[in-house]
Amino acid sequence: MTIHIDHHPDQNHAGDEIVEKNQGNVKEQETEHVLDGGFVAPHTNSFGHTFRDYDAESGRRRSVEDFYRTNHIGQTVDFVKRMREAYGKLNRTEMSIWECCELLNEFIDESDPDLDEPQIEHLLQTAEAIRKDYPDEDWLHLTGLIHDLGKVLLHPSFGELPQWAVVGDTYPVGCAFDESIVHHKYFKENPDYDNPSYNTKYGIYTEGCGLDNVFMSWGHDDYMYLVAKENETTLPSASLFIIRYHSFYALHKSEAYKHLMNNEDRENMKWLKVFNKYDLYSKSKFRINVEEVKPYYLSLINKYFPGKLKW
Give the annotated binding-site residues for Fe cation: 122, 147-148, 220, 246, 279
Q: Where are the alpha helices (DSSP H) in the chain?
A: 14-25, 61-74, 77-87, 97-103, 119-133, 138-146, 220-230, 237-245, 249-252, 263-281, 290-304
Annotated binding site for substrate: 52, 109-111, 151, 168-169, 246-247
Q: CB 253: neighbour CB atoms within 10 A?
A: 14
Q: CA dihedral in degrees (118, 143, 164, 79; nearest 10)?
A: 150
Pairing of strands 94-95, 309-310: antiparallel
Neighbouring C-beta atoms of residue 309, cutoff 10 Å: 22
CA 163, 165, 166, 172 dihedral sign is positive
DSSP secondary structure letter of residue 100: H
Q: Output the known binding site.
A: 52, 109-111, 122, 147-148, 151, 168-169, 220, 246-247, 279
Q: Which of 254, 246, 214 is nearest to 228 (CA)?
A: 246
Q: Are 33 and 27 in contact (CB under 8 A)?
A: yes
The whole-angstrom separation of Cα 77 and Cα 89 is 19
Angle at 293 between CA 289 and CA 296, to 5 degrees: 175
